[in-house]
Amino acid sequence: MQSTDLGNKESGKIWHRKPSPATRDGDGRILAAGGKSNHLHLWCLEAKQLFRIIQMPTKVRAIRHLEFLPDSFDAGSNQVLGVLSQDGIMRFINIQTCKLLFEIGSLDEGISSAVVSPHGRYIASIMENGSLNIYSVQALTQEINKPPPPLVKVIEDLPKSKLNAGDLKVKVTSRRVQLPSKSRESKIQTRILKQDLAGHCENKENELSEGLSKKRLQVLLKGYGEYPTKYRMFIWRSLLQLPENHTAFSNLIDKGIHAAFLNLQKNYPIKSRKLLRVLQRTLSALAHWSAIFSDTPYLPLLAFPFVKLFQNNQLICFEVIATLIINWCQHWFEYFPNPPINVLSVVENVLAFHDRTLLQHFMEHDITSQLYAWPLLETVFSEVLTREEWLKLFDNVFSNHPSFLLMTVVAYNICSRAPLLNCNLKDDFEYFFHHRNNVDISVVIREVYHLMDTTPADIHPNSMLDAFVSLTKGQYPVFNKYPKFVVDYQTQERERIRNDELDYLRERQTVEDMQAEVDQQRDEYEAWYQKQELLRKAEETRREMLLQEEEKMIQQRQKLAAVKRELKVKEMHLQDAARRRFLKLQQDQREMELRRLDDEIERKVHMRDREIATTAKDLEMRRLELESQKRLYEKNLSTSQEAIAKEMREDADAYRRKVDLEEHMFHKLMETHQTQIQNTQKLIEENLAKAEQACLNTDWRIQALRKQRSGDLQRNECYQETAKLLQKNRRKEIEVLNALSEEEAKKWEEAKEKDFHLKSERKVSALSDASRKWFLEKEISDAVEHAERPHGKVVPRCQNEQVASSCFPATSQSSDISEMDSSTRISLSQRRVQWDGVERDLMERVRNLRQRLTARARHRCQTPHLLAA
């Protein structure tokens, strides 16, 4: 295989094909991709660059699948990559050294697909023939993971019964690691180091469960001073005989974060969030394992170096710490929560035996073992040693008896004898045992071995500490070597304090909520007041604007009223001139009269149009109404002339038509009375004008018959009074809507009475009867026509109301009929003087009616609330 390093060069040529096999390593920093070639492309995801291309053997023409092989001790940066090619063989290579480590599958039994277990212990593959094969990674990599052969060769004596004199030498052959391959019989063969001895010597006393000899490891450690970095984690796991109880550990993890370590960040601020979470989970698992660890203040200091070392494998981290506590922390918790006085006494006795001068110096300055020994033990030397020194020290700690750690404390003090003797202040001693010092760890380790060999048995820690005991498989052992009552009491106190804190927090939260609510209410009140102030100011502004608009409207109304008055005066003059011309020319032919009336109407329309054009756009509607009224006047005049001529020609049929007309007028009056209640403003104005015109026409007919000048003068006064009344009524027509409706009904009653009197006189005199008949017929026909036509367009529901209003009370109908009967009984032989009296009485009643209407309209105008209604 060949490798090409590309450095920082970028390339994207592998992406031109269809999606190819790709995978990432454990920490997501490297992406491996392959396709229809024998090249592997390795990408650095952090730098987003292609940093290496690996060429597979020529037998590989295409890559079907890629899998990284996890390792517990590579900190997540997987180095072994499995490549499944088109020939069904999966080859595992090291992406750093580009060497082929081993391969599985064959040409006869090819692999279809494969997957690696999360912890990298097994490889499951589905063969092309449908079978499922499971491979042990440990067996495949047995030769690879073995440490290098020792350079120091040890000759051991064998029993005489098994060995000859020439067989005392052990031949150790150093060979290259051979790659295990699979034969056609699907058997995995591995080559191992063999002893060239005639007999097979087995020394099981110092052999570990993983196949490593503890004695040989100790010899290797004494020769090199430390284990190889590449195999250190594997050696530690073998020395500590970790059971790797996944189920038991998962049960501890599933219990969640312990309450004692929820605020770990406050006491131990760690930049790395991942490292903090791993430390928190590990400490929680220890606290769930044994209650003593939830109250142990130095447990984070003790566990932190191991958590940092095994942060990618929490199970190994937990079991290493648990093994350390069970074996190297014996008797530490007997005086809990105080430091282990018995263990510190042993350290002090050993120090007194080997360096009494140093101990005397400590005693003179009141320095106890809690200051020169306990800080080193509770932090397991992590504060005073570098990473490499700490790893080198624990290579020796884990390879020896648990008393080795206590001897290390004594050796560290003895090796630091010179600077310690120069210290005189307690702060200096504290600083010395909490910071790194210029101490050679190799010298300290040699001193520890010297102390282990030269210390008397009566003060040696071996007599106090038990031998190494590994964790049990399946379930972790119970750890109860501590004063349970103290822990229970502290647990209860801590629970009580926690409950008090929760109560306090709840009360504080309640107070904060109340304060927030009060603040919110205050803010709402202030906002409400501000809003009210803004509304008040806006209301004042609107009031001012409304007053200004009202003033403008009043001014406009005054101008409009002035224009209307002028227009009305001109209209009255025109009407008066037309009537005068009509009286002069009434004896002429009908065509001449109509022609003159048309000329007069056209002249009036022309004058009206010229006056209306000078006003504002608000008078446009009024102009249309005046034009409509002009056409109504023209029609009324022509109809009146035709009715008079017809009545003159049809004198013989007067009585019959009188009776029919009376009945018709009675019904029409009844319908008009009820219809006018629901009429709109425009209808009331038109009906009022028609009623006034009907009264004027009646006066005109009476005066025409009488041919008296006094009648003309009275009629002119009536016209002027009516014009004034119309001007005032138009100005307040909205406010007096209901009042005009009531008065209009009364007016129609008065007109009906007048009609009865005219009928009586018409029976006395044919001329008088014909004149009054024409007046009443014209009045009722016009009223009914103008009342029914707008009602049918504007208010559809008036039809139903007319039906309801046509039904008068029985008493009023009977009284009207009695009046009609009484009027018909008037003698035809009454004198001319009586006719004149009746006419004057009728005119007087009309004047009284107009005065009452005017007074009532003025009274209604004084009530402003009617305008709003």
Peptide bond preceding 337: is omega within 30 degrees of 0, i.e. cis?
yes
Specify the DSSP element, H or E, that contains 113. Answer: strand 111-116
Give 317: exposed, middle or buried? Use CB within 10 Å, 0-12, 13-18, 19+. Answer: buried
User: Is the CB of residue 680 less than 8 Å from the CB of residue 791?
Assistant: no
Distance CA 11, CA 51 (A): 9
Query: Is the pLDDT reported for residue 6 higher than 70?
Result: no
Read off the pLDDT band of 414 (50, 70, 90): very high
Predicted local confidence at residue 794, as pLDDT: 38
Predicted local confidence at residue 735, as pLDDT: 74
Question: Domains, the chain, ranges and CATH?
Answer: 2-140 (2.130.10.10), 331-464 (1.10.472.80), 652-869 (no CATH)
Kindly state the DSSP code that residue 207 receives in the 8-state scheme: B
Query: Is the pLDDT reported for residue 721 higher than 50?
Result: yes
Torsion of Cα atoms, 710 then 711 then 717 then 720, to 10°: -140
**Residue 526, token pair as written in the block:** 């202030």
Query: Is the pLDDT reported for residue 621 higher than 60?
Result: yes
Contacts 24+ apart (CB under 8 A), 645-649: 645/590, 647/770, 647/773, 647/774, 648/770
User: Which of 276-280, 288-292, 763-767 has the largest mean confidence?
Assistant: 276-280
Predicted local confidence at residue 866, as pLDDT: 41
Query: Is the pLDDT reported for residue 152 higher than 50?
Result: no
Taking alpha carbons only, the member of 773, 600, 584, 572 closest to residue 692 is: 572
SS3 content of the chain, % helix, strand, coil (to 5): 60, 10, 30
Q: What's the whole-number mean pLDDT along residues 701-716?
A: 70
Predicted local confidence at residue 611, as pLDDT: 73
Predicted local confidence at residue 587, as pLDDT: 72
Query: Is the pLDDT reported for residue 443 higher than 80?
Result: yes
What confidence tens digit (pLDDT) does each residue in 397-407 have? 999 999 999 99
Buried b (16+ CB within 10 A) or exposed e, 215-246: ebbeebbeeeebbeeebbbbbbbbbbbbbbbe
Through-space distance between the first and last CA atoms of the chain, rounded to whole angstroms: 103
User: Is the CB of residue 351 less than 8 Å from the CB of residue 410?
Assistant: yes
Q: Which of 19-23, 291-295, 505-509, 625-629 has the lowest mean pLDDT?
A: 19-23
Read off the pLDDT band of 805 (50, 70, 90): very low
pTM of the model: 0.40
What confidence tens digit (pLDDT) does each residue in 132-143 have? 999 988 888 765
Read off the pLDDT band of 485 (50, 70, 90): low
What confidence tens digit (pLDDT) does each residue in 34-69 have? 888 888 899 888 888 888 889 888 888 899 899 888
Predicted local confidence at residue 398, as pLDDT: 92
Query: Is the pLDDT reported for residue 770 higher than 70?
Result: no
What confidence tens digit (pLDDT) does each residue in 633-665 have? 778 777 777 777 677 777 777 777 777 777 777
How far CA 165 is from CA of 160, 184, 232, 273, 637, in Å, comes to 8, 43, 38, 64, 166
Query: Is the pLDDT reported for residue 72 higher than 60?
Result: no
How far CA 548 is from CA of 311, 536, 542, 543, 861, in Å, comes to 83, 18, 10, 8, 22
CB atoms within 10 A of CB 712: 18
Sequence-distant (≥ 6) Cβ neighbours of residue 662 within 8 angstroms: 755, 759, 820
Read off the pLDDT band of 391 (50, 70, 90): very high
Read off the pLDDT band of 201 (50, 70, 90): very low
Q: What's the whole-number mean pLDDT along residues 596-613?
A: 78
Beta bridge partners, 40, equal: 54
Beta bridge partners, 753, equal: none
The label of the residue with tokens 């406050």 reads 266
Distance CA 831, CA 835 (A): 7
User: Which of 23-37, 426-440, 674-688, 840-854 has the largest mean confidence?
Assistant: 426-440
Of 621 and 4, the structure prediction assigns the larger pLDDT to 621
Predicted local confidence at residue 74, as pLDDT: 55
The label of the residue with tokens 């932190």 reads 304
User: Is the CB of residue 867 less than 8 Å from the CB of residue 736?
Assistant: no
Predicted local confidence at residue 681, as pLDDT: 66
What confidence tens digit (pLDDT) does each residue in 808-858 have? 333 344 444 344 444 444 444 555 666 667 777 877 887 787 788 778 777
User: Is the CB of residue 282 less than 8 Å from the CB of residue 303?
Assistant: yes
Q: State the chain's mean pLDDT as an integer.
A: 76
User: Is the CB of residue 707 less than 8 Å from the CB of residue 768?
Assistant: no
Predicted local confidence at residue 616, as pLDDT: 67
Q: What's the whole-number mean pLDDT along residues 247-266?
A: 89
